[in-house]
Amino acid sequence: MRKRILHILTVIVVLFGSQSCNEYLDVVPDDIATIDIAFNSRANAEKYLFTLYSYMPQHASLSNPGICAGDECWANDVAGKNWAGLKIAKGNQGIVNPLLNYWASYKMFIALRDCNIFLENIDSPKDLEPYERDRWISEVKFLQAYYHFWLLRMYGPVPIVDENVDVSSTVDAVRLPRETVDEVVNHIVALLDEAMPNLPPVIQNKADELGRITQPIAAAVKARVLVTAASPLFNGNSNYPGFVTDDGAEYINSTFDAEKWVKAKEACKVAIDLAHAGGHSLFQYPGSALYNLSDTTILKMSIRGAVSEKWNEEVIWGSSLSRSGWLQNASLPRLDPSVKAEVVERVNSYWSPTLRMAELFYSNNGVPIESDKTYDYSSRYELGQAPEDHAFYVKPGYTTVNLHFNREARFYASLAFDGNIMYGHGRFNDKKGNKDPWVVKAKKGQTAARINTYQYSVTGYWPKKLVHEDDVLGSNYTREVYPWPVFRLSDLYLLYAETLNEVDGPEASYEWIDKVRDRAGLEGVKTSWTNYAKNPAEATTKDGMRKIIHQERLIELAFEGQRFWDLRRWLEASDYMNNDIRGWDTEQKDAEAYYRIKKIDELEFKQRDYLWPISERDLIVNPALDQNPGW
């Protein structure tokens, strides 16, 4: 018994040593030293609950591989030289000290065990109301499910930690083996199903509880889990022969199961219904009380605001634990040439979307630029002058590449570039007048260009979608920091469209993808492909529609940390992650030299990279673990 108390004390010291910036989290008092005290009152148990939230991955940080280990954005050699994510993207992952090691370094398994401690002891507080107890249990079950899912996406098969092993048990009892992907998915889904009934449909106490788990959040995560399980990485993947448990079961089932897509479809529809019932809808920018804004500006800001407007109606799950401060600082181009030198360096401005991402967005006809029969794709790198009808996108008469003309609104709402109009940031009248809207000027020596060895965009692009309109670099630097949107309604609509296409065919999926396209100012898929695509039949077949839905997700959710996981679950990462990182020659003064394509770095992706390695040390400590193939 003495050993058990000491063991628990050690867990609590680790647990309560963590800090959080969450609006509703408190630091657990220093005098809580045993489980008995931790659960002797409602107040202490609540603090334990909130500390379980603090293990949540930092979605808007460099510790999230979805943000920094893919091919969406890059950083110059000085700013990004020690970033683990960029090293992974360049093929430098390893087994001695794995980069972004969530198996060991980020305490995911400690979080799971501490969740078990909570569930084992939450009956102890005598002053805890039954309805509150039920809600807290549901929140913790959700956290258990999400932490398992976070590991599953990285490592595939993982141990299921559903109960704690007493320290008096044998050594073998604490050496948990990995379970098959199907078993882990079933466990996650079961936890979410148990959690949902006692979660609130909507947060009523917004002042204190925003960011806590609701029914729509749990349902949306269940949908994502089941879509991931139905996707090619985990459904019928025959790339891992011999990767089996001690009992001979395949860790990743090599037999395709169409029923997984059916389950995912059903889960998506339930999640959408719960989201709608909870008041969620696609964000629409309300305009300005002072100025009569153009429809174009309202369209652009509806797209930007869906991400950056705090707690807007589209955000199903916003994480108070993961805020946008670093990303906004890195994503904001410097706009005002009058800013004093001592203030300029407060904005890093080095988060750089790649040329590949600039080419990803559709033409203004709503089809890929290489597929649009009216788009001059072969001349996209040639110089041209911005026409007057682009006045809300690019400064009229400004010389830039043709790639920056005749694109969809999401292109201009998501990317800042040389000559681009950037609404807000102290200038909220989008018409010419006393103060014209900001124009990004990025050539050498200009306001947004390099100011030293690390504070500059290496590609000539910035992800302005991530920057709130109220961020200003003037007499000082101010930011409107927002909780990171872990899950938006448009994401859920596109997941549903994906499942509908797989189960029922393309006709069933149009409604839901078209909702997202309509908010982006585009016609529906069928209309756009019929009128403008070189191959209009593409939108009428399951394979063709699958390709369309994939690109729609990559566009709509660009720079939000989803592309990294989507490319993996689709088994398409090897198609994208073995290419050069390219951008413009940003060290040049004139347009002709500036708009020369420059190779910046190289990506490397091997088959083994779909599943991350477990460190050699962990394999030695726990011989029951099998290493992932290729490592």
Tens digits of residue pLDDT in 290-323:
999 999 999 999 999 999 999 999 999 999 889 8
Q: pLDDT digit string (tens) for 125-148?
A: 999 999 999 999 999 999 999 999
| Amino acid letter, residue 478 | T
Query: How would you class 23 by CB atoms within 10 Å of its CB: exposed for 0-12, middle for 13-18, buried for 19 or more?
Result: middle
Q: Where are the alpha helices (DSSP H) in 505-585?
A: 506-519, 525-532, 542-556, 563-569, 573-576
Q: Phi, psi at residue 54, to the nearest 5°? A: -70, -15
Confidence of residue 26 (pLDDT cuts 50, 70, 90): very low
Confidence of residue 614 (pLDDT cuts 50, 70, 90): very high
Residue 4 predicted with pLDDT over 80: no
In the structure encoding, which two tokens stand for residue 286, read together?
């309300």
- Residues 6 or more apart whose CB falls under 8 angstroms from that of 596 comprise 584, 585, 588
Q: pLDDT digit string (tens) for 574-584?
A: 999 999 999 99
Residue 167 predicted with pLDDT over 70: no
Q: Phi, psi at residue 362, to the nearest 5°? A: -70, 170
Residue 343 predicted with pLDDT over 50: yes
Confidence of residue 431 (pLDDT cuts 50, 70, 90): confident
CA-atom Rg of the chain in angstroms:
25
- The full set of domains in the chain, from first to last, is 2-54+107-279 (1.25.40), 295-485 (no CATH), 487-610 (1.25.40)
Confidence of residue 169 (pLDDT cuts 50, 70, 90): low
Q: Kind of pairing, strands 580-584 and 483-488? A: unpaired
State whether the Cα torsion 479-469-287-511 is positive or negative: negative
For the chain, give the number of residues: 631
Please state, in angstroms and rounded to a whole number, the distance separating the CA atoms of residues 275 and 280.
5
Give residue 510's pLDDT: 98
Mean pLDDT on 220-229: 98
> If DSSP codes are grouped into helix, strand and coil, which group holds residue 487?
strand
Give residue 168's pLDDT: 56
Give residue 629's pLDDT: 98
Mean pLDDT on 77-83: 95
Please state, in angstroms and rounded to a whole number, the distance separating the CA atoms of residues 361 and 552.
9
- Give how far the C-alpha of residue 162 lies from the chain's centroid of Cα atoms, to the nearest Å: 27
Residue 473's H or E segment, with its range, is: strand 472-473
Give residue 34's pLDDT: 76
Q: Phi, psi at residue 381, to the nearest 5°? A: -95, 0
Please state, in angstroms and rounded to a whole number, the distance separating the CA atoms of residues 169 and 167.
5
Residue 9 predicted with pLDDT over 80: no
Q: Please state the pTM of the whole predicted model.
A: 0.94
CA distances from 532 to 362, 506, 524, 557 (A): 11, 18, 12, 24
Q: pLDDT digit string (tens) for 505-542?
A: 999 999 999 999 999 999 999 999 999 999 999 999 99
Residue 289 predicted with pLDDT over 60: yes
Of 14-28, 153-167, 341-355, 455-469, the one with minimum mean pLDDT is 14-28
Confidence of residue 164 (pLDDT cuts 50, 70, 90): confident
Residue 260 predicted with pLDDT over 80: yes
Q: pLDDT digit string (tens) for 377-391?
A: 999 999 999 999 999
Mean pLDDT on 533-552: 98
Please state, in angstroms and rounded to a whole number, the distance separating the CA atoms of residues 610 and 597.
30
User: Quick one: which of 144, 72, 106 has its CA closest to 612?
Assistant: 106
3-state helix, strand, coil in the chain (%, to 5): 45, 10, 45
Residue 8 predicted with pLDDT over 60: no
Residue 30 predicted with pLDDT over 90: no
Confidence of residue 174 (pLDDT cuts 50, 70, 90): confident
Give residue 6's pLDDT: 28
Mean pLDDT on 345-350: 96
Give residue 166's pLDDT: 66
CA dihedral 97, 100, 103, 109 (to 10 degrees): 130
Do 23 and 54 form a contact (C-beta atoms < 8 A)?
A: no
If you average pLDDT over every residue of the chain, what do you get?
A: 93
Please state, in angstroms and rounded to a whole number, the distance separating the CA atoms of residues 7 and 479.
44
Please state, in angstroms and rounded to a whole number, the distance separating the CA atoms of residues 621 and 482.
41
Of 28-42, 326-340, 418-432, 517-531, the one with minimum mean pLDDT is 28-42
What are residue 598's DSSP bridge partners? 583
